Structure 1
């Protein structure tokens, strides 16, 4: 029986719970392997061959190859583990976060300095749905 997860109604947020942990286990283990210099070198030398050593899904491997961190998260990746990919690529956490929002590093930094994104209209998914329904009704 699935647990009640009221946090699923938070837009743009994936909570790394037990279900996500199970789904992303091998993806996250791969990321942790990048803490060792030898493994980073092997990965950089032939990314696909190194990924094929891990029991990850093809979707997870493709997300890593594309450096699509949002997709990695949706496939069970934890941002703190995924940061090892960014570090291997010479990227800062700020650069990674900016890329995940579709913003430049500078724009992301400025937004965070100013307190982050506004919560207005972003508290719950049902707020988005209500706004879209209202806009659709107005356009008719």
Structure 2
């Protein structure tokens, strides 16, 4: 297969490319999510999310995405899915919850879609 002319950076509709620009954009958000490795940090966050956002200097877009518990908004705000998984875990959001957000359906609809795909 000829790959010399293949553009490995072709945009995929609806996909946010996590590159250096996104990494810099999301540094504060990802740093906050990384902190959730420690139980004490998770407890501190749950006690006062707004103060925790300020502690890590999140911008308003990142704060609102976190308030909404919307992983797609967090990705658009520079979040890396590996760090965001730590955030999702605080709220007991599983892979199916995130998949539902990505496809624009409820979690139950997404589960049913997966079951139908397995038939």
The TM-score normalised by the length of structure 2 is 0.81
Structure 1 match to 2:108: 106
What's the C-alpha RMSD, in Å, of the aligned pairs? Answer: 2.0
| Distance in 2, Cα, partners of 1:100 & 1:85 | 16
For residues 87-136 of structure 1, what are the alpha-carbon distances to aligned partners after superposition, in whole Å with 9 as ceiling and x for unaligned? 00112122122133221223323444628xxxxxxxxxxxxxxxxxxxxx
Matched, 1:82 2:84: yes
Q: What residue number does 1:33 align with? A: 35
For structure 2, which runs of at least 5 residues remain unmatched after alignment? 1-6
Cα distance between partner residues in 2 of 1:94 and 1:85: 15
Larger C-alpha radius of gyration, 1 or 2? 1
Task: Please give the secondary structure, in 2, of the residue aligned with 1:7.
Answer: coil
Q: Distance in 1 between matches of 2:41 and 2:92?
A: 15
Residues 86, 93 of structure 1: 8 Å contact kept: no
Report how far residue 68 of structure 1 moved: 2.2
Stretches of structure 1 lacking an aligned partner (at least 5 in a row): 116-140
SS of corresponding position for 1:52: helix
Aligned residue for 1:16?
18
Matched residue count: 111
Q: Matched residue of 1:49: which SS?
A: helix
